[in-house]
Structure 1
């Protein structure tokens, strides 16, 4: 087991955690999401922008079709989110909105061109992108934003507040691994967005020495002496020998990760683009979260008179809305007071009625029957309210009486289902027809036969439908006289002579012949004349 922590260690640890939480809350956080159907490529662009804004963004934010902008605003406050980057797509263009929470403003951009991370990385021979680069926020670089114009200054302020600020005196160079560039073109009014990976290498030494400083040791099999590697720098590829100049060489104020990067030594800063790449154009700037006054519009320009007229209309609408809200609140308060007064009146009436009932409780009610239970006083609360106030009570004013009524109705229904004491169980089943079997049992039916579609009326009115009378002495299944049994499907011969002629049966020997007569005409199978 390790040594237990002392009080000072616990105190310092808790203090460090508190400082880290405060620092995390003080930096800006962002949501990057899309609205509407944007397609596969714009959806991947949203994921790439989340990668740029790491680590102070929601990496796995899930957006549903039902979600509105108000939903994101409502949860942004508790989570400390300060900026929204919203992508959308129309049939013509791709749009991007940049909003500052909670009260705006909102900047509308049109995305003229864009390239994804996979497109930028695939075009490079060597790319430098690893997960450790995204553990720290990128360094922001603004170019050509000093141009006069309110919209330009507002854009620059919005971009600066999207990323954490850097204290030059306290910043650690090892925490700077990436940089984001916003470059403004005053002529075309376009903004170029680029995302780079940052690398620092020492300068002032030959390529051979640089190779020795790296982790991979060069192949020296072709050299006779090590001086050839240090002086000539042979056997090195051109891609490793990058040209550095005054534009990227600087003196390091502190140690930097990498071999040879020491303080007070010159080193070269190299940038490698890792994407995504965007070309933006500002369309308009609006107050609030998309519902305020338009501060700037690149396509529509209005005079001061038109702007003042629009503002007056908006103020009139706001006043009307405020008046409606106040009137509604007053109406709600009046209804509440009236309801309370009516409730007090009904309760006073109930108390009086109960006091009178208690005085007369000893006197027996002659009208009360033994079979019926005594009425519950609380059931008449609704009636008391009607008499005292003269109005119907609300549904939730007397919930107990409502429940009692429902229970009484259910009891009455149960009593109706029970049999009366004067009738026997046999009488209750007398209406249902009886089915009898072969041993003299038959189906009996009382009342008139059903008349309707599909029913045939019997000749005798007294006979029930479907009732058969069997001759006495015959067993069930016997045939009547005149009915024949065409069991094997006898055939008649063609010809007129043999049409009505009787044939001897091939049954039991010694029995006389009989003629075959059918109740409805010909029976059996007859052959048609001619060939089939």
Structure 2
């Protein structure tokens, strides 16, 4: 006797409310921006994960209206658009669906691969982008300056806010630092990985607890030898600064998934830059979505080619 297979109907699962309310983004390019420009665009998508379309495909016949039309379906609130002229590369931050739009000239940039390759001990980024970054801003507190106020609002709304009452220490894996220099009008964009190292314990115990490999303890005659001998483990980069620089010390409120970092004990915060790195200059603020009344415009005396880490200009395709 043949039994009919029961076909299960697809059931729509409602998304959590905090997921809907979190800011989502599209990172796209318009026109030809070169291989280095495309790599920078993909790095920027990594920064904005997990609330961005990491594998978004862009066709030649797509226009900005196409992305705006589907933005509400996917709860997309911001659009980042890379463009390039014969002289420079630009990055637009747009608030959907009606603006405003902040246009930045990319004066200098470094790709993530170049930043990581310069480290003596590269950071492992396996589950690095599962949690959104912490946003830290500096130099944008002037309420009387319109451009500072709009930049601060745009960046604040680009990243999800953190509830200090519910957030877990293990979820804080990276930080985005935005530093505005009013003297020359440049804005520095940096991306760091966060790590914790226990402090206040002896060096042999720290190596034993935090080391990746268990040392050979067969030659030790007693527990006292553990404190008197060098266990032969490599010393991590910046370990001495963890003990000396007390301003980096924090008292943890919970245990973390990293060995040695326990609740009610002190640990040192360590930041490791992972890129991308950009130096931006605000040149225009438009009231609408890439159109409308111009609220701010910066006149540029020179419009040199954008500089990248490998010394090439953005003329390659």
TM bin (shorter chain)? 0.7 to 0.9
TM-superposition CA deviations, 1:486-506 (whole Å, max 9, x none): xxxxxxxxxxxxxxxxxxxxx
1:290 aligned residue: 290
Query: Does the alignment pair 1:207 with 2:176?
Result: no
1:216 aligned residue: 213
- For the residue of structure 1 that corresponds to 2:263, the secondary structure is coil
Name the CA distance, whole Å, in 1 between partners of 2:124 and 2:47.
Answer: 12
1:67 aligned residue: 62
Unaligned 5+ runs, structure 2 = 1-10, 301-317
2:47 aligned residue: 52
Is the 8 Å Cα contact of residues 189 and 279 (structure 2) preserved in structure 1?
A: yes
Taking CA–CA contacts closer than 8 Å with sequence separation of 6 or more, which of the two structures ends up with the larger relative contact order? 2
TM-superposition CA deviations, 1:318-370 (whole Å, max 9, x none): xxxxxxxxxxxxxxxxxxxxxxxxxxxxxxxxxxxxxxxxxxxxxxxxxxxxx
Matches within 5 A, 1:449-488: none
Query: Does the alignment pair 1:127 with 2:125?
Result: no
Matches within 5 A, 1:108-507: 108-147=103-142, 148-214=144-210, 215-219=212-216, 227-231=224-228, 233=230, 235-239=232-236, 241-244=239-242, 245-299=245-299
Name the CA distance, whole Å, in 2 between partners of 1:73 and 1:89.
Answer: 21
Relative to structure 1, the CA distance from residue 110 to residue 209 in structure 2 (aligned partners, 3 Å threshold; closer, same or farther) is same
Name the CA distance, whole Å, in 2 between partners of 1:239 and 1:78.
Answer: 47
Query: Does the alignment pair 1:39 with 2:37?
Result: no
Relative to structure 1, the CA distance from residue 238 to residue 263 in structure 2 (aligned partners, 3 Å threshold; closer, same or farther) is closer
Name the CA distance, whole Å, in 2 between partners of 1:237 and 1:213.
Answer: 13
Name the CA distance, whole Å, in 1 between partners of 2:171 and 2:259.
Answer: 17
> How much has 1:21 moved relative to structure 2?
2.5
Name the CA distance, whole Å, in 2 between partners of 1:62 and 1:106.
Answer: 23
Matches within 5 A, 1:2-41: 18=14, 20-41=15-36
Name the CA distance, whole Å, in 2 between partners of 1:242 and 1:44.
Answer: 36
Is the 8 Å Cα contact of residues 129 and 274 (structure 1) preserved in structure 2?
A: no
Name the CA distance, whole Å, in 2 between partners of 1:27 and 1:103.
Answer: 18
Relative to structure 1, the CA distance from residue 136 to residue 210 in structure 2 (aligned partners, 3 Å threshold; closer, same or farther) is same
Relative to the length of structure 2, the TM-score reads 0.84
2:8 aligned residue: none
- For the residue of structure 1 that corresponds to 2:278, the secondary structure is strand
2:312 aligned residue: none
Is the 8 Å Cα contact of residues 136 and 175 (structure 1) preserved in structure 2?
A: yes
- For the residue of structure 1 that corresponds to 2:180, the secondary structure is strand
Task: Report which of the two structures shows the higher radius of gyration computed on alpha carbons.
Answer: 1
Query: Does the alignment pair 1:82 with 2:77?
Result: yes
Name the CA distance, whole Å, in 2 between partners of 1:201 and 1:239.
Answer: 10
Name the CA distance, whole Å, in 1 between partners of 2:233 and 2:120.
Answer: 16
Is the 8 Å Cα contact of residues 83 and 98 (structure 1) preserved in structure 2?
A: yes
- For the residue of structure 1 that corresponds to 2:241, the secondary structure is coil
Name the CA distance, whole Å, in 2 between partners of 1:224 and 1:280.
Answer: 60
Name the CA distance, whole Å, in 2 between partners of 1:228 and 1:242.
Answer: 23
> How much has 1:267 moved relative to structure 2?
0.7
Name the CA distance, whole Å, in 1 between partners of 2:297 and 2:21.
Answer: 33
Structure whose residues are more often helix by fraction? 1
Range moving further from structure 2, 274-283 or 222-231? 222-231
- For the residue of structure 1 that corresponds to 2:260, the secondary structure is coil
TM-superposition CA deviations, 1:136-186 (whole Å, max 9, x none): 111111112223411011101100000111111111221111111111111
2:93 aligned residue: 98
Name the CA distance, whole Å, in 2 between partners of 1:176 and 1:93.
Answer: 35
> How much has 1:131 moved relative to structure 2?
2.5
Is the 8 Å Cα contact of residues 85 and 97 (structure 1) preserved in structure 2?
A: yes
Moved >4 Å (runs of 4+): 219-226, 231-234
TM-superposition CA deviations, 1:398-422 (whole Å, max 9, x none): xxxxxxxxxxxxxxxxxxxxxxxxx
TM-superposition CA deviations, 1:447-504 (whole Å, max 9, x none): xxxxxxxxxxxxxxxxxxxxxxxxxxxxxxxxxxxxxxxxxxxxxxxxxxxxxxxxxx
